[in-house]
Amino acid sequence: MRALYIGRFQPFHFGHLEVIRNILIENDELIIAIGSAQESHTKKNPFTAGERFEIIRANLVHEKFDLSKIYIVPVEDLNRNSLWVAHVRSMVPRFDKIYSNEPLVKILFNDAGYSVVNTPLFSRSEYSSTKVRETILNGGDWEKLVPVATRDYILRVNGVDRIVHINSSDKC
Amino acid sequence: MRALYIGRFQPFHFGHLEVIRNILIENDELIIAIGSAQESHTKKNPFTAGERFEIIRANLVHEKFDLSKIYIVPVEDLNRNSLWVAHVRSMVPRFDKIYSNEPLVKILFNDAGYSVVNTPLFSRSEYSSTKVRETILNGGDWEKLVPVATRDYILRVNGVDRIVHINSSDKC
Amino acid sequence: MRALYIGRFQPFHFGHLEVIRNILIENDELIIAIGSAQESHTKKNPFTAGERFEIIRANLVHEKFDLSKIYIVPVEDLNRNSLWVAHVRSMVPRFDKIYSNEPLVKILFNDAGYSVVNTPLFSRSEYSSTKVRETILNGGDWEKLVPVATRDYILRVNGVDRIVHINSSDKC
Amino acid sequence: MRALYIGRFQPFHFGHLEVIRNILIENDELIIAIGSAQESHTKKNPFTAGERFEIIRANLVHEKFDLSKIYIVPVEDLNRNSLWVAHVRSMVPRFDKIYSNEPLVKILFNDAGYSVVNTPLFSRSEYSSTKVRETILNGGDWEKLVPVATRDYILRVNGVDRIVHINSSDKC
Amino acid sequence: MRALYIGRFQPFHFGHLEVIRNILIENDELIIAIGSAQESHTKKNPFTAGERFEIIRANLVHEKFDLSKIYIVPVEDLNRNSLWVAHVRSMVPRFDKIYSNEPLVKILFNDAGYSVVNTPLFSRSEYSSTKVRETILNGGDWEKLVPVATRDYILRVNGVDRIVHINSSDKC
Amino acid sequence: MRALYIGRFQPFHFGHLEVIRNILIENDELIIAIGSAQESHTKKNPFTAGERFEIIRANLVHEKFDLSKIYIVPVEDLNRNSLWVAHVRSMVPRFDKIYSNEPLVKILFNDAGYSVVNTPLFSRSEYSSTKVRETILNGGDWEKLVPVATRDYILRVNGVDRIVHINSSDKC
């Protein structure tokens, strides 16, 4: 069985890590789709698809996951819900089921005949990308909210400054 | 050093394999970008990005490449040459140089300050995706032109029929 | 005289029906343009253009309108106000005037030399698509707000569930 | 049973008429989708979607077809084969099967699980839109190649001049 | 030295004029880029790129600026931050530095290696396009907020009516 | 009277110069619209809009035209003929008539109610952008085909090399 897991990973945190670990227990292979791949330098999407790819990969390596069982694929938005499933299917390797808690994703994939499984919840209030970005913005202790591989990458690309500057803009 | 290698891989053949092998001798890591990712079911681009991803990955596994050193990334066309380098950079992990024999790719990346290296030539007349597609279309012995992992995948998704049907269309 | 009437019809309700009835008293023919045709599965646009087309058509048949006098045409958004009139003109049969109460539509068509007529008001507070969607969402008695042909279609495609699920999403 | 028939109808000729007549013998209802709806004023697509809509409708009225069984729907191109079926499905009423002789259309709809039926052939060499456009361009007797409703419309919008002028352009 | 100054100029006011005057003291030449060129008839962007071009030019002429030192260039939005600098560079003459107080513009151009200079502040609270539009909308004394060339143009194209009507729309 | 003159100016040659000179004799002001502004680094469109803008401007300055009477405006393609006139109108200052020998431009602007004037012919066989590009490509004496301001700019940006390299690519 090959599973699909879609997220924006802005940025990748402990919750994502646990979801991946659990999916790989229940499945042979996993596709991690990086959604909104064309977005970057906005309040909700500070990092490019390429940067998010590197962060995810660094985490997988750090956690010693078997890379031969995992595919990472950036997917641009299409902004047409009725075409979303067909778009994802064309961009990623074939998959058997999809993990998601997002109601829209569930409807669209269910209507297309896919089995949609809820991702296990790891205290969503505690681990969320929104919370990480807000903590960075407010000068809080964001480093404990993300794995070390995420932290190192953000520090290396000067991501804290980027998030602070972007949030002082009217444009994004 | 991390190198970038861009192709459409329609389909992946022995020439691609040798280029990858050589790049990995000269570099620590390699990004394989699957270009024209949004295209499929046309004469020049019969396979989807997801299918091409699977074929490439199957070849890497079959050849026992170290997957922790290779990134595979589908990249949609933008159809604006002046934005092409910025687009690729946003979609893939950071890279230090690029391998290509394509004059347009060379100009655009050179103008952006990148080092562009010629890919070694493996009798281009013999190994080319165009030749593979034409041989499939003409009912020739295409299986000897591609690695076994490519052959198996094309047979499994009924790719021969697809190529034959597409080529009888006025539309693609 | 052929009149144009543009709406999103999310969903078609008694107010739309009365507007159509009135336009057909004053004109020989009517074009019903289904705007934002590319949208679906969002809070403001739950139904696809194809579904909206079916609902409108079912209402016209149920009300025994003369179909030889009515054209139904889905029109995708262009998101450029300065091109909107030219876009609509290219997609629908020629028309002599347009019925609308929407200030932007009035300005754009007036500037293009068209006569714009106010649609008669049928207690807008009572009959509005927004109110129908909210009543569905809140579990209220929405069925009395729409004609039987609309109600039957929404029930058949499980539209109530769709609207409820979409509204629990952050994405649409 | 509701059937789908997709064409560009540039312009609508006797062959189209016979296909429609035959489909309606075998089915309860018919959707006529006007493809490449965004195209006009080019050599291959001289008429706008709105004009083509009017021509088709005039023919249906002239032939006394039952309009309550026929839907006419312009559909813009998406230029992504892997999304084409989902796009068409979102824009038109639900359908059970599709009539087409076009190999690409067949593959795409077959892969999506639809039944695709060949349209009956009415001496394709004799009745084709390409032949009509070429005959108009060359000053030949095009009027005998199209039904009277098509002829009248083309004459009314000065379509002959348009086709001649467009064909002297380098641009379309 | 050639400087770039990007704005939406909805509409051009005294603050813009002073920025231009100052940039031309410090530089040989100036490119004025009209951003969001594709937008018009919305609350934030009431005027077309062509109208904004005429207003800016009328101001430059009225103020007797040397036109051989100034380039005015409309630039459409691309809506991809990672491509923005490459897009602007392709559309305007080459430039050496950029004047902006906008944090996003600063990050993007700095990352691309450009020098970004703050524009002098001319009591931003007093002179802002937002304030001009609001004053027009509220029937206030907007004419004193803009140079005479801006005022005359707005009056000539009936811009006050346009802004009032647009603001009574739900759509823009 | 303000006239509009649209071209791609790939590159600007003696014929363009004479057309401009003649239009300015018959009109008070002239808008030079640079079409296909988003294109560059292709066989038909080697130069960016920004580069073409600089070349045109350099020619106008060299020829001592009165810059207060001339507007230069890059215009991106829209690829929808039915929207072309509305698009151009939104991007450039208002104009009274248009100069063109291109049949498609004539039809579209005539249909929109504009007066279209033929540009005077300056031995089109001798002065054409196509001929300039071909002469550059073939190593011929292209410098005598363009004004000195065009020649100097092309030499400065290494345009000869660019054209040669682009033409050895399969991609553009």
Q: What percent of chain D has pLDDT over 70?
A: 96
> Which residues of chain E fall short of a pLDDT of 70?
121-126, 172
Chain E contact probe: residue of A47, A137, A169 with most E CBs at under 10 A: A169
* Pairwise CA distance, residues B132 & B124, whole Å: 12
Q: Do B81 and F165 touch (CB under 8 A)?
A: no
pLDDT at D157: 96
Q: Chain F residues with CB inside 8 Å of E92's CB? A: 49-50, 53
Q: What Å distances lie between residue C96 and C19, C102, F87, CA to CA?
A: 17, 18, 23
Q: Chain E residues with CB inside 8 Å of A163's CB? A: none
What value does the mean pLDDT of chain D take? 95
Q: Do B102 and F165 touch (CB under 8 A)?
A: no
Q: Which two tokens stand for residue E43?
A: 């609350």
The answer on pLDDT for B135 being more than 90 is yes
pLDDT at D122: 62
Q: Which residues, in sequence order, are CB contacts of A106 under 8 Å at separation 6+?
A: A100, A116, C165
C-beta separation of C81 from E172 below 8 A: yes
Task: For residue B123, name the pLDDT band (cuts at 50, 70, 90).
Answer: low
The predicted model gives F100-110 an average pLDDT of 93
The answer on pLDDT for D123 being more than 60 is no
Q: Do F40 and B102 touch (CB under 8 A)?
A: no
Q: Chain C residues with CB inside 8 Å of F85's CB? A: 86
* Pairwise CA distance, residues A18 & A61, whole Å: 15
* Pairwise CA distance, residues C52 & C10, whole Å: 7
Give me the DSSP letters along C9-73: -TT--HHHHHHHHHHHHH-SEEEEEE-STT--SSSS--S-HHHHHHHHHHHHHHTT--GGGEEEE
Query: Model confidence over D39-55: pLDDT tens digits?
Result: 999 999 999 999 999 99
Residue found by looking up tokens 């604006």 in the block: B80
| Closest to F49 (Cα-Cα) out of E89, E77, E79 | E89
Query: Model confidence over D139-156: pLDDT tens digits?
Result: 999 999 999 999 999 999
Write the residue in B41, B168, B170 that is nearest to D81 by C-beta: B41
* Pairwise CA distance, residues F42 & F39, whole Å: 7
- Mean pLDDT check: name the lowest of E27-36, E119-128, F36-45, F109-118: E119-128
The answer on pLDDT for F67 being more than 90 is yes
* Pairwise CA distance, residues B128 & E12, whole Å: 57
Write the residue in A39, A48, A172 that is nearest to E104 by C-beta: A172
Coil vs helix vs strand at F99: strand
Query: Model confidence over A75-133: pLDDT tens digits?
Result: 999 999 999 999 999 999 999 999 998 999 999 999 999 999 998 766 566 689 999 99
Q: Chain F residues with CB inside 8 Å of E39's CB? A: none
Query: Model confidence over A19-52: pLDDT tens digits?
Result: 999 999 999 999 999 999 999 999 999 999 999 9
Residue D42, min C-alpha distance to chain C (Å): 14
* Pairwise CA distance, residues A169 & E108, whole Å: 12
Q: What is the 3-state secondary structure (H, E, C) of chain E?
A: CEEEEEECCCCCCHHHHHHHHHHHHHCCEEEEEECCCCCCCCCCCCCCHHHHHHHHHHHHHHCCCCHHHEEEEECCCCCCHHHHHHHHHHHCCCCCEEECCCHHHHHHHHHCCCEEECCCCCCCCCCCHHHHHHHHHCCCCHHHHCCHHHHHHHHHCCHHHHHHHHHCCCCC
Residue B75, min C-alpha distance to chain A (Å): 8
pLDDT at C121: 66
Which run of H or E residues covers position B134?
helix B129-137
Residue of E nearest to B80 (CA): E87
Coil vs helix vs strand at B80: coil
Residue of C nearest to A79 (CA): C39
* Pairwise CA distance, residues B113 & E125, whole Å: 42
Chain D contact probe: residue of B34, B40, B158 with most D CBs at under 10 A: B40
C-beta separation of B52 from B45 below 8 A: no
Q: Which two tokens stand for residue F59?
A: 């020619």
Q: Chain D residues with CB inside 8 Å of C38's CB? A: 90
Task: For residue B119, name the pLDDT band (cuts at 50, 70, 90).
Answer: confident
Coil vs helix vs strand at A109: helix
Q: Which two tokens stand for residue F48?
A: 């960016």
CB atoms within 10 A of CB E79: 9
Which residues of E lie inside 8 Å of A (Cβ-Cβ)?
80-82, 102-108
> Per-domain residue ranges for chain E?
2-167
Residue of F nearest to C78 (CA): F83
Residue E147, min C-alpha distance to chain F (Å): 19
Q: Do F102 and D170 touch (CB under 8 A)?
A: yes
Chain B contact probe: residue of D8, D82, D109 with most B CBs at under 10 A: D82
Q: Do D94 and C50 touch (CB under 8 A)?
A: yes
Task: For residue B120, name the pLDDT band (cuts at 50, 70, 90).
Answer: confident
Q: Chain E residues with CB inside 8 Å of A40's CB? A: 80-82
pLDDT at A154: 98
Write the residue in F37, F68, F93 that is nearest to E50 by C-beta: F93
Sheet of B2-7, strands arranged across: B70-74, B29-34, B2-7, B97-99, B115-117
Q: Chain F residues with CB inside 8 Å of D76's CB? A: none
Q: What is the CA radius of gyration of chain F?
A: 16
Q: Which two tokens stand for residue D135?
A: 């005959």
* Pairwise CA distance, residues A90 & A84, whole Å: 10
For chains B and E, CB pairs below 8 A equal 24
C-beta separation of E164 from E135 below 8 A: no
pLDDT at B5: 97
* Pairwise CA distance, residues E60 & E79, whole Å: 30
Q: Do D82 and A87 touch (CB under 8 A)?
A: yes
pLDDT at F156: 97
CB atoms within 10 A of CB A1: 12
| Closest to D90 (Cα-Cα) out of C42, A77, C51, C73 | C51
* Pairwise CA distance, residues E71 & F74, whole Å: 12
C-beta separation of E40 from F90 below 8 A: yes
Q: Chains with 3 or more CB pairs closer than 8 angstroms to B?
A: A, D, E, F
Which residues of D lie inside 8 Å of C (Cβ-Cβ)?
37-38, 40, 48-51, 53-54, 57, 61, 67-68, 71-74, 76, 89-94
Which run of H or E residues covers position F3?
strand F2-7
Q: Which two tokens stand for residue C81?
A: 């106000």
C-beta separation of C31 from C74 below 8 A: no
Q: Chains with 3 or more CB pairs closer than 8 angstroms to D?
A: A, B, C, F
The predicted model gives F138-146 an average pLDDT of 96
Q: Do F85 and C85 touch (CB under 8 A)?
A: no
Chain D contact probe: residue of A76, A78, A81, A82 with most D CBs at under 10 A: A82
pLDDT at D124: 61
Chain D contact probe: residue of A76, A78, A81, A83 with most D CBs at under 10 A: A83
Query: Model confidence over C95-136: pLDDT tens digits?
Result: 999 999 899 999 999 999 999 999 876 656 668 999 999 999
pLDDT at E121: 66
Task: For residue F122, name the pLDDT band (cuts at 50, 70, 90).
Answer: low
| Closest to F168 (Cα-Cα) out of A22, C36, C151, B100 | B100
Q: Which two tokens stand for residue D81?
A: 């084969």
Q: Which two tokens stand for residue E120?
A: 């002098």
Amino acid letter, residue A78: L
pLDDT at E125: 61
For chains C and D, CB pairs below 8 A equal 64
Amino acid letter, residue A143: E
State the DSSP code for A59. H
Higher pLDDT, F169 or B149: B149
Q: Do B103 and F165 touch (CB under 8 A)?
A: yes
Q: What percent of chain D has pLDDT over 90?
A: 91
- Alpha carbons within 13 angstroms on the beta-carbon side of residue D8 total 19
Query: Model confidence over C15-59: pLDDT tens digits?
Result: 999 999 999 999 999 999 999 999 999 999 999 999 999 999 999
The strand pairing partners of D74, in sequence order, are D34
Give me the DSSP letters along D58-114: HHHHHTT--GGGEEEEE------GGGHHHHHHHHS---SEEE---HHHHHHHHHTT-
Residue E168, min C-alpha distance to chain C (Å): 6
- CATH 3.40.50.300 applies to domain A2-167: no
- Chains C+B touching (3+ CB pairs under 8 Å): no
- Mean pLDDT check: name the lowest of C159-163, E116-120, F137-141: E116-120
Q: What is the CA radius of gyration of chain B?
A: 16
C-beta separation of E106 from A165 below 8 A: yes
Coil vs helix vs strand at B57: helix
Residue D78, min C-alpha distance to chain B (Å): 11
pLDDT at D95: 98
Q: Which two tokens stand for residue E135?
A: 């004053």
Q: What is the CA radius of gyration of chain A?
A: 16
C-beta separation of A53 from A35 below 8 A: no
Which residues of F lie inside 8 Å of E (Cβ-Cβ)?
37-38, 40, 48-51, 53-54, 57, 61, 67-68, 71-74, 76, 89-94
Buried b (16+ CB within 10 A) or exposed e, D2-37: bbbbbbbbbbbbbbbbbbbeebbeebebbbbbbbbb
Q: Which two tokens stand for residue A18?
A: 């646990």
Task: For residue B121, name the pLDDT band (cuts at 50, 70, 90).
Answer: low
pLDDT at B36: 97
